[in-house]
Amino acid sequence: MKRRVVITGIGPVTPIGIGKEDFWQSLLSGKSGVGMITAFDTTNFNVKIAAEVKDFNFENYGDKKEGRRMDRMAQFAVAASKIAVQDAGLDMSKENPYRCGVCVGSGIGGLHTFTEQTWKFKEKGPRFVSPLFIPMILGNMASGEIAIACGMKGINTCLQTACATSTNALGDAFRSIAYGDADVILAGGSEAAVNEMAIAGFGNMKALSTDNDRPQQASRPFDKTRNGFVLGEGAGVLVLEELEHAKQRGAYIYAELAGYGANCDAHHMTAPDPTGEGAAECFRMALMDAGLQPEDVDYINAHGTSTELNDKAETLAIKNVFGEYAYKLAVSSIKSMTGHLLGAAGGIEAIATVLAITKGILPPTINYENVDAENGLDLDYVPNKARAADVKVALSNNLGFGGHNACIVLKKFE
């Protein structure tokens, strides 16, 4: 018998707000976090926009000296974890640390450090490369630093499945708790890739929107005029907990994580299978794991990147699984507001889904103005305004480069 797993704490660090209240209010108001890039000089770049985290100061979450030994990606991860632990009311002095773990991934890792130290190597030579260069660029350092900051000595893993990273991390953490390896796990993802190399790389592969003249409208998932995603940064970490453990300590329960599916398109390095077949099978796996039928689902928090291929393939996958019922489902993408946080996307999107269940309000897909009927993108994408809804069951989907598909099922707790 699998043990039941619930969510008792949430920690968003995002371009539209840090902490539960700021993040949620921004989602409800349809606030865009996209603007002109401030992290570097974009004079020679075709892409000049991104969704940056504003007013982030690591000293609000940890020691200044320790912060200097972390890449920005790890700083975001530690901050999000501390917010989530506080939100859960988790007192580690009362817990067995070996039953408390971490599963937080990153799609790219310490890219800021890698770029900075590479320039230093080229300009000054090998003796000037920081002795902390290697640990600071490692993707697993987010999980390691979280464990140190929060005192968690149990299972500690890091996944790297591109844009599916966070959802895979949540799924693996869910199974670890369900099958008795831990009682509490901090799970999610972190990313800090708004820098010269990422913008150049994604830009040159024509994946990014170039709507520099209207940054807040540039991310428009499922809209007929979509022309690429907007790069975002931040972290999303959730406290996953075994049900009886949560009840014994009197924790508030946001929702239940009831099912998980993961597979691979095995189709192309970056493009999704255009038929959506792999994603569809992934959604079915998650529903089967939860013991639910397609008609039980009320809402889908979509991957919805605002790229031509992804939005079409994901819509086809939804229709494949849900048939005519797909037209009765609400489907929205918060990437319209946050941009695409790559490996951290699933973390903040799971938080948004949990809050949609708890609050009974669906976050919208902003900037949705033109129906792409010729490509079959004709579902209810919750256009432009938040909507009240009784959400008992929701899916949160993420699809990554390499063909990685991941889906979790979240339920109203009963």
Residues acting as catalytic residues: 163, 303, 340
The radius of gyration of the chain's CA atoms, rounded to the nearest angstrom, is: 20
Interaxial angle between packed helices 345-359 and 165-178, expressed in degrees from 0 to 180 and rounded to the nearest 10 = 60
Q: Residue 30: phi, psi to the nearest 5? A: 70, 35
On whether the CB atoms of residues 17 and 10 are closer than 8 A, the answer is: no
On whether the CB atoms of residues 192 and 113 are closer than 8 A, the answer is: no
3-state SS assignment for residue 274: coil
Please, what is the end-to-end C-alpha distance for the chain in angstroms?
Answer: 18
Burial of 56 (0-12, 13-18, 19+ CB in 10 A): middle
Torsion of CA 79, 82, 83, 87, to 10 degrees: 170
Q: Using CA atoms, how far apart are residues 330 and 362, in angstroms rounded to an integer? A: 8
Q: Residue 193: phi, psi to the nearest 5? A: -115, 10
Q: Amino acid letter at 124?
A: K
* Token digits of residue 322: 């849900």
Q: Residue 265: phi, psi to the nearest 5? A: -65, -35
Give residues with Cβ within 8 angstroms of 365, minimum separation 6.
221, 222, 304, 332, 333, 334, 336, 381, 382, 383, 384
> DSSP assignment of 134-194, as one string?
HHHH-TTHHHHHHHHHHT--S-EE----GGGHHHHHHHHHHHHHHTTS-SEEEEEEEE---
Give residues with Cβ within 8 angstroms of 315, minimum separation 6.
222, 276, 376, 377, 379
Give residues with Cβ within 8 angstroms of 241, minimum separation 6.
5, 6, 7, 8, 88, 177, 183, 184, 185, 251
